[in-house]
Every structure is written in C-alpha cells, then in structure tokens.
Amino acid sequence: MNKTPPLYRGFRYPGEIISHAVWLSHRFALSFRNVEEILVSRAVDVTYESIRLWCLRFGAEYARRIRARVGRTGDTWHLDEVFIRINGKQFYLWRAVDQDGDLLDILVQSRRSAKAAKRFFRRLLKGLRYSPRMVVTDKLRSYGAAHRELGLSAEHETGQYQNNRAENSHQPTRQKERQMRRFKSPGHAQRLLSSHGPINDLFRHDRHLLSARAYRKLRSQGFAVWDEVTESALVV
C-alpha cells in the first residue's frame, strides 16, 4: 500500500524532507543555499532551486492549515505599514497582528493612501470574518479615513508607543528580505510572506517571559501541530 500522503504524491523526496526544508527556511534567517547545505550535511542531496519551489508550493498550504487550526485570533488589531524596495521601486507592506503579536494578514501595495488602507481593512474583515474590539495604528491619516468610510465600530487608538507590537513584527520580514537579497516581485513577496508569518508564529514565543518548563511545553505543542499540518514527522 502506498504510504505517501496525497500532499506529496508524485514528488521524488518524502514529506519529512520537504517539510523539514520548508521549516528551516521559514523558521530561521536562512537562504535557500543555506538550507541546501544543511540538508547535504544530512546526506540529502537537493538543490536550492527545489527548496525554493517547495517553500512556494507547500509553504502556502502549510500556512493555510495552520490558520485553520488556530481559528479566531485576538480582538485587538495592530496595523502598520513598512516600505520595501522591489526591482528599484518602492512598495508598502501592510501588516496586521493581534495583541499577542500573531500575524492576521499582510498585503503588498504600491501606495499608503486611504484607498490602500481601506483595501487592507476589507481584506482583514473578509478573511477573519469578525470585527475587532479595538484597532491600533500609527498617526497615518489613511487609517482614520478608511476607518470612518467603512463605518467600523471598533475603537481606533493612535497613541504614542501603543503600536510597538505591529512595528516590532516587521523584524522577521526584514531579516528574510536581507537573506534573500530582496524580493523579486510584489507577487513573490506576497506569496512568501503570507506563508512565513503563520509558520514562524507557530514556533515564536516570548521566551524571556516564560519559564523553561512553559517554553518547552509550547515548543512541543508547536511541533505537534507542525507534524499534523505537514502530514509527516519532523526530521530531527
């Protein structure tokens, strides 16, 4: 009987190797060539181009399954935008996280206008299917305009330092951007970062705020979820 999960059927490498390569790429600030070397050291001869394709194809599916397991997120949304340069042109990466710092959604856009803010709000409301209790942003007027035009009932806060959680959430993205020597296109950035957030969140914990026992418990839970969503046992 063929024991290969349907997700990996037709691929040369087993799911354990594919999921481990995707985990390495999204969990740590590694290039595809770095991941290739790590796998070669484990006697797995695979090219960095294959790893790149695995991350695009399977990363999106893993992230979708993780989101489905997590279910409803926090009721306080922190929104922020940061510029990224793609092929010499400036774009904006709009990001929303909840009060625990878990990614809600991202959207790469060419502007940071009220129209762009409204588009991002609509994407969040459609994808999450519930309205927040509070929305926290910086003082960019586009957020206030979009908030009023959409008639959101959530309280809108713009106080100084209140949006540090969203601003700090950009750090893994910046690390990934540097490691990859920038993104190749807006679509490439959108696909990659949409997968990167949920996968990274599954294993990212405020370790300095936790006891060793609590941290190990959360880490074990993360690996258990990962094994389930990837339909494979993580290579260790």
Pick the CATH number of 76-169 from 3.40.50.300, 3.60.20.10, 3.10.350.10, 3.30.420.10: 3.30.420.10
Which of 4-8, 36-40, 80-84, 131-135 is the least confident region?
Answer: 4-8
CB 79 within 8 A of CB 137: yes
How does pLDDT run across 140-191, given as a tens digit for each residue? 999 999 999 999 999 999 987 888 888 888 887 788 878 777 788 999 899 9
How does pLDDT run across 16-66, given as a tens digit for each residue? 999 999 999 999 888 899 999 999 999 999 999 999 999 999 999 999 999
For residues 197-215, b (16+ Cβ closer than 10 Å) or e, as one string?
bbbbbbbbeeeeeeeeeee
How does pLDDT run across 96-123, given as a tens digit for each residue? 999 988 889 999 999 999 999 999 999 9
Domain limits of the chain?
6-70+204-230, 76-169
pTM of the entire structure?
0.84
Say which amino acid occupies 40: V
